[in-house]
Amino acid sequence: MRTIDHHIVGGAAGAAARTGEVFDPNSGQVQARVALGTTADLDRAVAAAQAAQPAWAATNPQRRARVMFRFKELVEANMEELARTLSSEHGKVIADAKGDIQRGLEVIEFACGIPHVLKGEYTHGAGPGIDVYSMRTPIGIGAGITPFNFPAMIPMWMFGVAIACGNAFILKPSERDPSVPVRLAELMREAGLPEGVLQVVHGDKEMVDAILDHPAIGAISFVGSSDIAHYVYRRGVDAGKRVQAMGGAKNHGIVMPDADLDQVVADLSGAAFGSAGERCMALPVVVPVGEKTADALREKLIPAIAALRVGVSTDAEAHYGPVVNAAHKQRVESWIQTGVDEGAELVVDGRGFTLQGHEQGFFIGPTLFDRVTTDMSAYREEIFGPVLQIVRAPDFETAVRLPSEHQYGNGVAIFTRNGHAAREFAARVNVGMVGINVPIPVPVAYHTFGGWKRSAFGDTNQHGMEGVKFWTRVKTVTQRWPDGGTGEGANAFVIPTMG
């Protein structure tokens, strides 16, 4: 059985003392083992990063951009291999795996424009003979701790911008599906990135804590559950680091009475159940406004859910595949039972789903609840599986209030033909990302990704210009070049003042 090792300059330190299991979610069998690193492994990675980063930061932005261009070409050339590897460890179908990679590449495309976005500000003549200018300088060494559900996209969100800005980067991917992040690091090296600028270390909490505590790591980006995001944020900030920590979500889809219900149902089929619901931007709660809207929506949802095809990740006809491992399958099914116990109406039960020839795989059928209420823990908490909940709202004001008062504030969507209602909703809802007739409102790469409330800790979002700000610091220079005069006050330095 193969062992997935670190991607560290100088080679591995020998056989890992501890390893974790990497499953094939389609069969339920262990397909590989991943080395679980130690503080010593991180120290080696940091030492290599410290050796490589100054020269990389001194490399002009055009040359750094060329590495990004070449990396993009290499990822596209290896798309099939990467997608199949990703699919085999995560369980998402090949089409979703390619989408995972493509959305990451869009941030790489943004990073290719780094010469432009790193330009500073300049004021000529801020005072007598005085010019002021600013420059964006790299943090030094950054680190990323990424989740299992997007093993290509989220690492590229982080390291693409960080490296383009002149930093070295240490990636700690999920130990559940670690192969694609290692392969991406190999392709970056093939693209011309100097050794030591991007490295991958594997591990569990021991490695996470080592990253949070290491004094040479200046900035950390994290995506995962909210409880762990809060832990990462507090511990990292206490250690004097810049931290952005993205947490969980419970995204709502508001369905107004004038919405195109056929389109809403088609959107919900993908947004709620695609990738087995293992997405922080999934749409697991639908809020129809008015009983008539709710009844009509439910009537259309039931046959649409019955038509969904659950299959192995290589099945080109499947809408989604298995969840990532047995523990997560058990967790999702436990939440379904909790919903039943709390009094929600279980309309479609996805538990007990099996696939012929893959009876030990981690499959869950699509599940639909109706008459879910806000006091239910199954509503308050993130399920992260193929479960859709209907929460009926009597009016527009209630529909605005539900996502606004929820503990999570990642994304929200409204479906309507009424421009005034959409505008009012977008302005008032207390959520970080809003979709108007768009079920999964993930912004394009040159904008920025980030939620509110317990969905994000820290003041700076992912990618776009927010990402550039996170991975750099501003240095402001005030300069004067004396003209060589000898008269009284000729070389006096005068700070410009207001008025």
Looking at the annotation, which residues are catalytic? 280
Measure the CA–CA gap between 50 and 455, rounded to whole angstroms: 32
Measure the CA–CA gap between 200 and 182, rounded to whole angstroms: 6
CB atoms within 10 A of CB 29: 11
Assess contact for 67 and 193: CB atoms under 8 A.
yes
Measure the CA–CA gap between 282 and 386, rounded to whole angstroms: 9
Six token digits for residue 97? 């795996």
CB atoms within 10 A of CB 465: 15
Q: In sequence order, what E strands does 201-301 have?
A: 219-223, 242-246, 252-255, 285-288
* Beta-sheet pairing, 456-457 with 411-415: unpaired
Backbone angles phi, psi at 96, to 5 degrees: -65, -35
Which helix H or strand E contains 415, and what residues bound it? strand 411-415
Q: 476 in helix, strand or coil?
A: strand
Q: 255 in helix, strand or coil?
A: strand
Q: 281 in helix, strand or coil?
A: coil
Measure the CA–CA gap between 199 and 178, rounded to whole angstroms: 13
* Beta-sheet pairing, 130-138 with 472-480: antiparallel
Residue with tokens 């590989």: 32
Nearest Cα neighbor of 490 from 481, 479, 499 is: 481
| Alpha helical stretches, state H, 432-477 | 464-470
Q: 361 in helix, strand or coil?
A: coil
